[in-house]
Every structure is written in C-alpha cells, then in structure tokens.
Structure 1
C-alpha cells in the first residue's frame, strides 16, 4: 500500500487536494493531506510564533501517525509531496524520518537548500526584496506577522493560473489565508540524511518549467544540479499552470502514482552526453584573434581595411551559475558568432555579464550597458555603427534598448530569445518586458531568429512579441529555423541551420554598412 502525504503551498490548506486525493484513493492509495498550522482554517488563526519548524512538526505528526493504528509503521510506502512552499516543511520532515520516506515529490516547487529560508523561493521579486529588507531591519524570524493572500486578480504573481476555471480561482481566493511570516524567514535546516532519498520533479510547463529547460541547466555545468542526473531522480511534465491539483487533478494523481512506481524521465549526465553548449559551432571558421579585457572579448577582422569598423556586440543568455564551466563567453556558440562577424569584416564583441540568478537582470543589464560604451570607445570601432545581438535569456535585456533606441544602434538582433518573463520568474514588476518595449522601438530594425522546436514556454513570449510588433508597425525581420531547437547552432548541424545563421548575419550587416 502506498501512502501519499500531501503538503500544500502558500496561502492554501487541505482543501486544494480534495479532487486529487479522491483520484488517488480510487486507485487504492492511502491519502493524507497535511493541515499546516494557521493555513487550514479561518483567517487570522495562526498562533504567535508560527514558523517553519511549526510546519515541519505538522508534517512529522502525519508521518508518525501512518500505520500506528495497526502497529505496522514499517509496512507500505510513504510518498511525500510538497507543492510550492510546502516542499520546505516536507524536506525538513523527511530529513528527520528518512527511513519512513520512499520518495519525495517536488510539485512545481523550488529546490530548497540547507540554511536557506523559503523567502528565497518567493516568485514575486519586488515582494521578496521588500520582505528581505524588513528582515534586515529586525522584522524577520522571532517576530509575528502575516503576509496577506493574493487578491482575485493577483494570483498570477505567485504562478501561472493557466488551466484554472473561474470557479476554481474564485474558491482558491475565498479560502486563501495569510501566510505566517515566520515560515518564510526561518532557514531550513537539513542534516544531509535526506540526500539519498529518491525524488521526482513534477514540472508545470505553463508556469515556465520543462524537462528540456532543466536538462539545459544541467548542461551549463551548475554544480548544484549534479544530483539531478542520479538515476533515482525522475521528472514528469504537466501542461498546466502552478496549481495542477485544481486544474487537472486526475492527471496529477496519475503522475503521482507513476512517480511512486519509480517511473519518469531521467536526465543525461553531462559526462555521458556532451552538453549542447560545449559542442562545436555549426560553421567552419578560420581562427580569429581574440582580445580579452575585463568582461569584453573582441574578435578583430584581418586585413588593412580602413578603421574604425562597425561592431556587433553579442549578449549571452542565462541565468548561468557563476561557477559554471566553461563560462558563456567561451561557449562555441558565442565564440562562433563573434568570429563569424570578424570574418565578415566587422568587429565581433562578446560581453560577459553577471546574470547568475533571476534576481540579477538589473545587474546584468548594467554590465551590458557599461561594456557597450567601452566597446564604442575603442578606436578600432565606429561608435556610430553598432548592432546588439541577444541570445536566449539575454533577450529580456532588449527591453532597455527597444524602449529608447540610441541613434548609434543600427540594428537589434535576437536569436531564440526569451521575450516575455516566464510566469514563475516573478518579474511582473520589473522593466524587462520586451513585449511592451517594442511599441517604443520606432524605426529600429530588429532581426529575430525563431526556432520551430522552441520550448513552448518561450515560444509563447516570442509570439506575443511579434503580435505587439505588428500592431505598432515595428520593423521585425523574422528568420525561421523550422527544425531547429533552442541552441540550434550546436544542436542541429544542418544546412537549414547554417543558412539561418548566414541569413541572420547578412541581415545585421546590411544595417551596419552604408
């Protein structure tokens, strides 16, 4: 017999599990939704001092009660499911009852670490910063307080509401209760005992997560993600928003049953299959001299042509962990594009910026802006003829340049770009919204390379951007790679892909040369 212990997320109680629990029970499983202190009753019922330890104790009480009526605590299997914030008390409890837990399921949740509070996983960046400031001012752990639940129209700040019916969203809002702040401020403490417990990640693609994206992050070389290639770690996707227990309870129940059976997708280790970011660039190019100064690499054209020359500045994507190796500036895609620009008689430049976490976009954008000015100041560069070329997650930084294009910016290019923040990135209050910025781009030429096999969560933002550009009359030239994936320059070495790169470069150069 499998027993599912279901731990709810922020602002919610056992009511969110009702339909999923019914489907699990119908399949013969035992189901134990956890009533977290202060989250499973009327508003304002959280006792003073309610914190993460309080909720860990709530989960432990449920685990310890399973099987006690028959005296068979060791029989059966316990699958511990944590949704959203709920993964924090779930992990805390599993760390202390490792022998009782057969598998932990991360349901559209973060990956908590020892010593890090749940505040770090709050998706709304502006709110997270305000709460962090309050903690720094003495309003953190050890004090009482509550975070009000979202209003009816504000749930999207906490995750995608895709798939929720109007009735489900109404009920979610009506039954939501304030979150005790102590549960967010108190750090999670783990001994490491739970590290060997099998796990499953259930990713909700409409909320911005996918197996392909996780595999890509593993390929970046993030040491923190190495554990995800363990064969005991599996993954599932659900094509829905952040509350699958409300939007698709039957499908979620099926996934949980399969997870309990050890099924699911397993990731490839970076040393088993060479990560795409490290594979060779799809064009054969001659060696081009590179000069590295600070966070800028310059690729200089050969010959005695008159200087200064136009420049194409390449901005990599992310977030990429600071200790990932190789660094993005050394990825074959970036070195390939910059070298290709140089072979076409212009200066190719690669900017290394500090987009290591989702909260780093402001810092990364400042890095790019500063680097561009230093590139323009180089005597070998024509300061009045510069193109900026953004890739992947760097696409959000285009908002700064689209919204107020300087006269020297002759072209803006974007290749498989992220052009709208993903729902679980919590960036609704930031300036990084190219879909809005393109309406102010004026006559700035834009060259957009779009891949046909793009991750759906990114493709949706590209479609939204193009619709906004068409409505305002922005000049966007689209270069399609119908059979290309995200990162096609090293993943899809085909004639189609090669021609797309050549076309994109020709388009950019047309705007740089008289």
Structure 2
C-alpha cells in the first residue's frame, strides 16, 4: 500500500487536502495530511516565536514515525509550496523510510537557505523582514485578493478562494527565516516534480535551465527524477483535485517525464548554430561589451545593441554574448553595414531587473560614445526575459533611439515572479512610446504563459495607437533562431532586421 503524507504550504492547514485525500483513498492509498504547528486548526490561530522550521520538520517526522513501522507500506512525501521545506527536512532524517518525495509547485530548497529565499515577490520578503524586526511572531494571512502574490490563483473557483481565505492562519515567522539544514541524505530519495504551468513554470522551461548549466538544477536530470505538468495555478488541490490525485498516483509509481542530461557531445538548444550563414566578422571586446564592425565603413555608422534574456545563472558558461543567437544577430547587422553590439548584464534572478537595466543603459552609452558609431542612430533589440527592460526605453524614448525590437519577449511578470517594480511594465510604458517604431517577433509555438504577456502588451499598444510591427513565426518556438532553423524562421529574421535597419537609416 502507498502511504501519502501531504504537507501544505504557507498559511494553510490539512483541510486544503480534503478533496485530494478522498480521491487518493478511493484509489486504495492511505493518506495523512500533516497538521503543522500553528497551521493545523480550523481557522486563524495565534502562534509564538518559538515555532520555527524545525518545529514543522518535527511535525512531519512524527507522522512518518507513526506509519513507517507497518509492513509493506511505501511512504510518498508530498510538499506543496513552503511545505517542501519541512518535508525535505524530515526526509533528510528519515531517508530510509521515504520511497519518494514529490515537489508540488515548489522551489528546490538548499542546505543553509531559509524558505523566505523561495518567495519571489520582493515586497512580500520585505514584509516578512519588517515583521521580524518589529518582534512579531507571525505573518498575517493574505486577504482574499492578495493570495495571487503568493502564487497564481488561476482556475481557483470563487468558493475555493473564499474557503482558503477563511481557513488561513498566520504563518510563524521562524518557519520562513530559519535556514534549512540538510545532511544530503534526502538526495538519495527518488523525487518527482509536479509543475503548475498556470503559475509560470513548465517542463520545457526547467529543461532549458538545466541546459544552461545551473549547478543547483543538474540533479534534476537524474533518471530517478520525473516531472508532470498541471494546466492550473498554484493551488491544484483546490482547483483540480482529481487531476492532482491522478498525478500523485503516477508519481508514486515512478512514472513521468524525465529530463535530458546535458550532453557534452552536442550543444544544448541555446548553443546550437545560428540559423543564418553570416560572415565570421571579428569583434572588439571591452569589459562586458562586444562590438562587431562593418567590413567597410565610411564614417560613423548606426548601431544595434542586442540585449540577451534571462534570468541567466551567474555561473553560466559561455555567457550570453557568446551564444550563437547574439553573435549571429550582431554579425548579421555588421554585414548589413551597421555596428552590432552585444553585452552581458546581471539578470541572474527575477529580482535583478534594476541592476540589469543599469548595465544596459551603461553599455548603450558606451556604444554611443564610440567614434565609429553614429550616436544619433541607435536601435535596441531585446530577447525573451529582457522584455521588461523595454519599458524604460518606451516610457521616455530618447531622440537617438530610432527603433526598438523584441524577439519572443516576456512582456509582463510571469505568475511565479511576484511583483515587478512599476518601472518594468511594458504594457503601461507603451502609451508613452509616441512615434518610436516597435518590432515584435512572435513565436507561434510559444508557451501559453509567455504568449499571454505578449497579447497583453499588444492590446495596450493597440489602445494607444503605438507603431508596432508584428513579425510572426507560426511554427517557431521560443529561441527559434537555434531551435527551428527553417525557411520560415529565416524569413522572419530577414524581415525583422530589414525593418530595424530601415528605421535606422531613414
């Protein structure tokens, strides 16, 4: 018999699992929903400062110890959201008793890192720290409209959201601030990840980050690790209990999608060759900036600055300016008679947009200051996760900015990013773009979550009459320049570059 031990996330008690537990039980499983100290009642409760992460780890261990003595039982430990921290801490101390750990729309806790680090929203993290500095013992639960800051409420029925709000309890601050301590024993336990794509992350995105070489994610390509996707928001036990129960049963059986390990014999998707055969023009490298100059130039030439996406792990090698896409575009631009520029910026996490914006602004000024560049004729070209950076340039376009382009951009925060500063909201900034020409290259096979941000931006652009040319790649995926080297993709690159150069030289 499979025994599921279910550990809930922030502010929530065992009641959130009722519907899932009923379905698992009807399938023949035994189910225990853990009542974490301070969160196990039927409504708000008051907790003292002594309740911390170790308290909740002990709560989970107590349940494991109660059931592990029975013969023939296989324990599957499920941690949702914050719940993965006490679940993983307990599994680390009872590794021999746990058959599998299921990460349900959660982060990947690391030794010595508190659960607060997994909270994407900067404002929420600051709220926790202020409460701790003020000597408070717990963080009040969200209001009904504030749950979305802790994770997407997509597909969550109104009645379920009302119930979630009514049953929520204050979260003891110590549970978020105390570092998790792991010996490494839990790493020997097979795991499964259930990703709620309505909250912004899917299997393809995780695979891409594994391909980028992020050290903390390499273990996810182990054959003992499987993945599932649910097309819903952050609370699937409430928005889709039947589908979640099916996924948990499959996870317990070792089913699911397995990631592909980084293959050293062939490049990952982002390091495959650029789809165009462009001349191998030399580059000039200064600090974080590379310049590709036209083979022949009669005086200062216009320039295109290509801005990579992200977040990109700080230790990624090679860095983005050496990726084939950035090099390919810059060389293509130089071959067409303008200066191509690429740079590395510090967008390593979704909290890094401010410093990435500073890096881009600095690089642009250095490009404009080069005597071989016509400082009054510059275009900016953004990719993927650098989309929010476009807001700075649309909100107050400088007179020398002749065109702004973006390939498969993320034009609004994904649900699991938390809030971004209002400065980085392109849909708001486009109303101030005036006559600035905009070129948006749209991948037809884009993920639904990213595609929704593009549609939101285009709707805002239509409302204000912004000058946007959309270049569609109907059969193209995110990163089509190396993933989809088709005639359709090549035509889109030619068209987009032609439009940008036309505005630069007009």
1:507 aligns with 2:504: no
Q: Which residue of 2 aligns with 1:5?
A: 5
**CA-CA distance at 1:130 after TM superposition:** 4.6
1:92 to 89, 94, 100: 89
**CA-CA distance at 1:429 after TM superposition:** 4.5
Trace 1:27-426 onto structure 2 (pairs within 5 A).
Answer: 27-41=27-41, 42-68=43-69, 72=70, 74-132=71-129, 145-271=137-263, 274-303=267-296, 305-426=297-418
Task: Determine if contact 2:105/2:234 at 8 Å carries over to the other structure.
Answer: yes
Q: Which runs of 5 or more residues in structure 1 are unaligned?
A: none
Task: Determine if contact 2:47/2:137 at 8 Å carries over to the other structure.
Answer: no
**CA-CA distance at 1:155 after TM superposition:** 1.0
**CA-CA distance at 1:428 after TM superposition:** 4.5
Task: Determine if contact 1:385/1:512 at 8 Å carries over to the other structure.
Answer: yes
**CA-CA distance at 1:396 after TM superposition:** 1.1
**CA-CA distance at 1:127 after TM superposition:** 2.2
Task: Determine if contact 1:144/1:180 at 8 Å carries over to the other structure.
Answer: no
**CA-CA distance at 1:134 after TM superposition:** 6.6
Which string of whole-angstrom CA distances, capped at 9 and with x for unpartnered residues, describes residues 228-277 of structure 1?
11000110000000000000000000000000000000111111653111
**CA-CA distance at 1:43 after TM superposition:** 2.1
CA RMSD of aligned residues (A): 1.3
How far, CA to CA, are the matches of 1:473 and 1:438 in structure 2?
A: 9
How far, CA to CA, are the matches of 1:37 and 1:359 in structure 2?
A: 31
How far, CA to CA, are the matches of 2:495 and 2:204 in structure 1?
A: 27
**CA-CA distance at 1:456 after TM superposition:** 1.2
**CA-CA distance at 1:107 after TM superposition:** 0.4
How far, CA to CA, are the matches of 1:352 and 1:417 in structure 2?
A: 17
TM-score normalised to structure 1 length: 0.96
Helix, strand or coil for the counterpart of 1:484?
Answer: coil
How far, CA to CA, are the matches of 2:129 and 2:270 in structure 1?
A: 35
Task: Determine if contact 1:3/1:29 at 8 Å carries over to the other structure.
Answer: yes
Task: Determine if contact 2:52/2:174 at 8 Å carries over to the other structure.
Answer: yes
**CA-CA distance at 1:75 after TM superposition:** 2.5
**CA-CA distance at 1:133 after TM superposition:** 6.4
Task: Determine if contact 1:212/1:455 at 8 Å carries over to the other structure.
Answer: no
How far, CA to CA, are the matches of 1:307 and 1:31 in structure 2?
A: 75
Q: Which runs of 5 or more residues in structure 2 are unaligned?
A: none
Task: Determine if contact 2:49/2:174 at 8 Å carries over to the other structure.
Answer: no
Which string of whole-angstrom CA distances, capped at 9 and with x for unpartnered residues, describes residues 103-141 of structure 1?
101100000100000010112212213534676xx66xx
Which string of whole-angstrom CA distances, capped at 9 and with x for unpartnered residues, describes residues 50-99 of structure 1?
0000000000011111155xxx2x52111100000000000000000000
Task: Determine if contact 1:223/1:324 at 8 Å carries over to the other structure.
Answer: no
How far, CA to CA, are the matches of 1:98 and 1:429 in structure 2?
A: 42
Sort the Cα spacing of 1:197 and 1:67 in 2 relative to 1 into closer, same or farther, 3 A.
closer
Across the two proteins, how many residue pairs are aligned to each other?
504
Helix, strand or coil for the counterpart of 1:264?
Answer: coil
Q: Which residue of 1 aligns with 2:18?
A: 18
Q: Which residue of 2 aligns with 1:442?
A: 434
How far, CA to CA, are the matches of 1:270 and 1:346 in structure 2?
A: 36
Task: Determine if contact 1:420/1:433 at 8 Å carries over to the other structure.
Answer: yes
TM-score normalised to structure 2 length: 0.97
How far, CA to CA, are the matches of 1:16 and 1:330 in structure 2?
A: 47
